[in-house]
Amino acid sequence: MWFNRENEELVKELSTNLDKGLSKQTAQERLTQNGKNELPKPKNKPWIVLILLALLDPLSIILIVAGISSVVIEKVISNEVHLIDFLVIISIVFLNAIIQTIQQVKARKSLAALEQMTVPKAVVIRDGEVFEIPTSELVTGDVVILEAGKYVPADLRIIQASNLQIDESALTGESVPVEKHAKIITENKLVLAEQHNMAFMSTFVTNGRAVGVVVANAVNSEIGKIAAGLAGAKQEKTPLQLRLAKLTKFVSIFALFLAVGVFLFFFFTDRPNWPVNLMTSVTIAIAVIPESLIVIVTVILSLSTKRMSKINVIVKKLDAVETLGSVNVICSDKTGTLTQNKMTVKKIIFNNITIDSEGYKYNNSLHDEHFINSLTLCNDAINEKNEKIGDPTEIALVDFTRRYTIKESEWRKKHKRISEIPFDSERKLMSTINVIGNSENVYTKGAIDELLKKCTKIYQNDKVVPLTAEIKTELLHAAKNLSLDALRVLAFAYKKFDGNKDNLEKDLIFLGAVGMIDPPRPEAITAIAAAHQAGIRVMMITGDHKDTALAIAKQLNLASSSANVISGAEIDELNDEELKNKFNDISIFARVNPEHKTRIVNCLQALNYVVSMTGDGVNDAPSLSKADIGVAMGITGTDVSKQAANIILQDDNFSTILKGVEEGRNVYQKIKRAIAFVISANIANVLAFLIISLTAGIKPFDSVNILWFNLIIETLLAVPIGFDSNDNRLMLDKPRNKKESFFTNSWITILFVALTTTLTVVGTFFIGREVFQDLDSAKMATILVMTCTPAIYVFALQLPNYRIKAHHKWGKVNYYLLGASLIALALNFMIIYTPGVNQIFLLSPSGEQYITVPTVSWQMTLVAMAMMTGPLLMLLAYDQIRKAIGR
């Protein structure tokens, strides 16, 4: 606790000199011994490690085991080794791992591009001389000079201060700058926001000047402690990871039981050729497992992240997109996220009447002139070249007066300031003496109750009249009404300077007052309404007082009364169960600290909410890390918050979050449709294989044919589903349950497609056998139908009633899917009719090395093509039946 130390104690404990600072030698020794004044950044895993982690995915492991098993079994059966199956499986697993790694590396580069390229500097005193050095070279005991417009480079105990105000919103969430001083504080325990003789690393000096001594830096600073706390945060699995893990587990167990069941069936039905039976069982297992699934999901997510980047969202990890679509609660920081982080004049008390700031008209009267002068000249804020320096309150005044005057810098040159009495917390006033033409005027601003005590007259209707007790009461009542709306009220007065500085703030003429607030972002209001329509709760979390929070919440339509607001102190009085019960009514959390934010997220997650936390400050980082999806601001966000978040908004726009939610919901539907397509095709293949094997006594296709279909054809047809246009009507739905299965509301479609395809494939085999009296031709026709039919009926799955949710209307043609379908058909014909290639895929007739395309093959092809249209026609008929029933 440095805030209650005497200067002598500081000198002793830090081994420094408060006048001359450290010696250069001592500073260098401490830098060498303790390291640089930098926050630890998470070490980026090498790309090879990222690939290895992707290979440890459960489905990847299953595929690798299946590939190895195929080699081992073939070696046992025939004492030969053909590596085609194994190489195909391993290639697809590595392809998926590489795609995931590329996405993570791209996100890493995008994040690095957001960081400022300039090296921050600090002004220090060493050996009695003033130097400017990189902030990374600061050490404990350094004496630092602070000025307005600069960031605090380390945790400092202030030893000298002049009109010092610091914006601590990044650390505490408090939007109003805090007045600082160099006095000793005698209390033994204070929260950060109450340590008024301390300046903390990464906060911003808005006004004044100070000298401080470094008491903590790097990881030992307050911001460093928060950053260090994030390192041990456990990363929870995303909803997509949970669903895929559940699907993988189910499919793996089913494949194992089915393979064992088939093997035992053959064994107990007098089929003694156990090696063949074992290979058949392995083929069935391979047919069940959706080997292409991980690649399909990865590519669709990659396409989505590319779209997200176009709407100013950087996705650090692929599955974060889908998680954002699952969100049903957004816990948002107020300052800079829901509000503009810019104080703005909203109300004016002028001529004893309260009006909107837009309604104020400058009429070139003396009253107007003095009022505008008081706002501009009794003001130290600077707004030059798009750089605003100073107290946010004074910047708001400058922004307002720019509507009626020239630039404040030129106005101040014209009306030179010759003296001033700085603002202090006891007087709550600031006064300046400025040259106005041939005379000198006193301009004073401050708290309205204190200023009225100094006034004896008032301007009304361009006339100076006595300030009566009745008028004072009216003015105080008007100011109170503004305060009830959480507006910060500043009042202004003036008089002709009579040369007596002792009476500078006496017998003033009251000019008027303004009410200011950090207003909501207009787009945030719209976005919150859209969130509510989408069934998403928005909760505002802030370090501001309850009244301020409630006033902003009302404007954002987040709250209607104080019953919707709870403070951090009130949260401390509740246990977790009591806090959870409050969530039905509470949507605003005021005066909270980082621990409160994390606790709020924990309680919401315990109630099975999928929680998004948005923020830009250091104080947001722990909760950003804990939330299901952390959203950091790219422009105003601190490096710590960006490291903790899952996604980063490059435009700091709350409404962009809703665009991300829409993208997340759409990508989930696309993944769901792709999985429905893959699973229905795999079920059809397994059923067809079993029916033909059991009834005809032959294996209709080999494992290499299954792998060709599962890994190449399915992938080729399923990935383009990711190119479907988004459907904004998904934002009219309620958020889905995070435990929802991929197959919710889709089993009927999956089974219908699977059964119609099974009938088609089985029918092709038996018709081919009867027509051609040739098992090889029948087998080839069956394989052709099995691999080509999905390329035709995949379009039926895009019809309204065959999307997993019936929101789609015919719109833009998915040319990627059309092209993929044509390519799939061409590839399938190629592996059958290309000499040499058909031998690799075990499609050569018995006793021949390759097919020479005899007449019967073309007849076989025509039969197969006719059969392929079966599922499409049945799906179209099914669609019409459902529509008729729906009427």
CA distance 394 to 377: 10
For this structure, is 333 an active site residue?
yes
User: In sequence order, what are the beta bridge partners of 819?
Assistant: none
Looking at mean pLDDT, say which of 268-277, 492-501, 781-790, 825-834 comes out highest. 492-501
| φ, ψ for residue 464, nearest 5 deg | -90, 120
Q: Is 21 left (phi over 0), alpha (psi -120 to 50) or beta?
A: left
Q: Which residue has the tokens 């950060």?
A: 192
CATH 3.40.1110.10 fits 344-517, yes or no: yes
Eight-class DSSP state of 843: -
What pLDDT score was predicted for residue 28?
Answer: 94
**Among the listed residues 330, 235, 105, the one whose alpha carbon sits nearest the alpha carbon of residue 646:** 235
Enclosing H/E stretch for 729: none
Residue 111: pLDDT band with limits 50, 70, 90: low
Q: Is 667 helix (H, G, I), strand (E, B) or coil?
A: helix
Q: What is the pTM of this model?
A: 0.75
Q: Which residue has the tokens 């003015």?
A: 475
Residue 281: pLDDT band with limits 50, 70, 90: confident
Least confident range from 127-141, 309-323, 764-778, 848-862: namely: 848-862
Q: Is residue 588 over pLDDT 90?
A: yes
How far CA 346 is from CA of 37, 373, 402, 477, 520, in Å, comes to 41, 19, 15, 17, 12
Determine contact, residues 97/54, Cβ cutoff 8 Å: yes
Q: Is residue 290 over pLDDT 60?
A: yes
Least confident range from 705-709, 823-827, 861-865, 874-878: namely: 861-865
Q: Which residue has the tokens 């009927």?
A: 748
CA distance 183 to 633: 36
Enclosing H/E stretch for 273: none
Determine contact, residues 846/852, Cβ cutoff 8 Å: no
Determine contact, residues 302/103, Cβ cutoff 8 Å: yes
Q: Is residue 114 over pLDDT 70?
A: no
Residue 861: pLDDT band with limits 50, 70, 90: low
> Where do the CATH 1.20.1110.10 domains begin and end in the chain?
295-311+663-887
How far CA 198 is from CA of 178, 653, 795, 808, in Å, comes to 11, 32, 66, 59
> Where do the CATH 3.40.1110.10 domains begin and end in the chain?
344-517
- Mean pLDDT calculated for residue range 670-695: 88
Non-local CB neighbours of 117 within 8 Å, separated by 6+ positions: none
Q: DSSP readout, 322-373?
A: HHHHH--EEEEEIIIIIB-SS-EEEEEEETTEEEEGGG------HHHHHHHH
Alpha-helix residue ranges (DSSP H) falling in 794-852: 815-833, 837-840
Residues of the chain with pLDDT > 70, as a percent, come to 86
User: Which residue out of 142, 333, 380, 518 is catalytically annotated?
Assistant: 333
Q: Is residue 798 over pLDDT 60?
A: no
Average pLDDT value for the chain: 83
What pLDDT score was predicted for residue 385?
Answer: 65
CA distance 295 to 306: 16
CATH 3.40.50.720 fits 323-340+521-652, yes or no: no
How far CA 545 is from CA of 462, 541, 568, 590, in Å, comes to 38, 11, 10, 6
What pLDDT score was predicted for residue 51?
Answer: 85
Determine contact, residues 803/724, Cβ cutoff 8 Å: no
- Mean pLDDT calculated for residue range 698-707: 76
Residue 19: pLDDT band with limits 50, 70, 90: very high
What pLDDT score was predicted for residue 212?
Answer: 96
CA distance 519 to 748: 51
What pLDDT score was predicted for residue 847?
Answer: 38
Eight-class DSSP state of 380: -
Determine contact, residues 565/553, Cβ cutoff 8 Å: yes
Looking at mean pLDDT, say which of 432-441, 770-779, 817-826 comes out highest. 432-441
What pLDDT score was predicted for residue 337?
Answer: 79
- Mean pLDDT calculated for residue range 252-265: 82
CA distance 418 to 432: 8
Q: Is 465 helix (H, G, I), strand (E, B) or coil?
A: strand
Using DSSP bridges, classify how beta strands 611-615 and 329-333 pair: parallel, antiparallel or unpaired.
parallel
Longest dimension (CA), the chain: 121
- How many other CB atoms are there within 10 angstroms of residue 582's CB atom? 14
> Where do the CATH 3.40.50.1000 domains begin and end in the chain?
323-340+521-652
Q: Is residue 349 over pLDDT 90?
A: yes
Q: Is residue 30 over pLDDT 70?
A: yes
Determine contact, residues 375/396, Cβ cutoff 8 Å: no
CA distance 57 to 61: 6
In words, the CATH class of domain 7-25+119-231 is mainly beta
Q: Is residue 206 over pLDDT 50?
A: yes
- Mean pLDDT calculated for residue range 846-871: 57
Q: DSSP readout, 288-325?
A: HS-TTHHHHHHHHHHHHHHHHHHTTEEESSTTHHHHHH
What pLDDT score was predicted for residue 207?
Answer: 81
CA atoms within 13 A on the CB side of 877: 9
Non-local CB neighbours of 642 within 8 Å, separated by 6+ positions: 111, 114, 632, 634, 648
- How many other CB atoms are there within 10 angstroms of residue 467's CB atom? 20
Determine contact, residues 81/75, Cβ cutoff 8 Å: yes
Residue 724: pLDDT band with limits 50, 70, 90: confident
Enclosing H/E stretch for 773: none
Tell the burial category of 273 from Cβ atoms under 10 Å away from its Cβ (0-12, 13-18, 19+).
exposed
Non-local CB neighbours of 164 within 8 Å, separated by 6+ positions: 146, 158, 179, 180, 181, 205, 207, 208, 209, 210
Tell me: the pLDDT tens digits for 128-177? 998 889 999 999 999 999 987 788 999 999 999 988 989 887 777 666 78
Tell me: the pLDDT tens digits for 359-412? 998 988 999 999 999 999 999 888 776 677 788 889 999 999 988 866 788 888
What pLDDT score was predicted for residue 356?
Answer: 95
What pLDDT score was predicted for residue 481?
Answer: 93
> Where do the CATH 2.70.150.10 domains begin and end in the chain?
7-25+119-231
**Among the listed residues 325, 337, 329, the one whose alpha carbon sits nearest the alpha carbon of residue 660:** 325
Non-local CB neighbours of 170 within 8 Å, separated by 6+ positions: 202, 203, 204, 616, 617, 618, 619, 638
Tokens found for residue 841: 């895929």
Tokens found for residue 256: 């194992």
Determine contact, residues 428/446, Cβ cutoff 8 Å: yes
CA distance 141 to 125: 10
Instruction: List % helix, strand, coil for the chain (3-state, nearest 5).
Output: 55, 15, 30
Determine contact, residues 396/343, Cβ cutoff 8 Å: yes
Amino acid at 793: Y
CA distance 51 to 475: 69
Least confident range from 82-96, 651-665, 747-761: namely: 82-96
What pLDDT score was predicted for residue 483?
Answer: 87
Q: DSSP readout, 103-135?
A: HHHHHHHHHHHHS--SPPEEEEEETTEEEEEEG
| φ, ψ for residue 386, nearest 5 deg | 60, 15
Determine contact, residues 648/627, Cβ cutoff 8 Å: no
What pLDDT score was predicted for residue 849?
Answer: 38
CA dihedral 168, 627, 218, 174 (to 10 degrees): 10
Q: Which fold has domain 295-311+663-887?
A: Calcium-transporting ATPase, transmembrane domain (1.20.1110)
What pLDDT score was predicted for residue 93?
Answer: 75
Q: Is residue 800 over pLDDT 60?
A: no
- Mean pLDDT calculated for residue range 319-324: 86
How far CA 83 is from CA of 73, 87, 91, 714, 806, in Å, comes to 12, 6, 12, 21, 44
Q: Is 864 helix (H, G, I), strand (E, B) or coil?
A: helix
Tell the burial category of 42 from Cβ atoms under 10 Å away from its Cβ (0-12, 13-18, 19+).
exposed
Least confident range from 206-210, 228-232, 657-661, 753-757: namely: 228-232
CA distance 334 to 341: 9
CA distance 72 to 74: 5
What pLDDT score was predicted for residue 379?
Answer: 92
The residue count for the chain: 887
What pLDDT score was predicted for residue 175?
Answer: 64
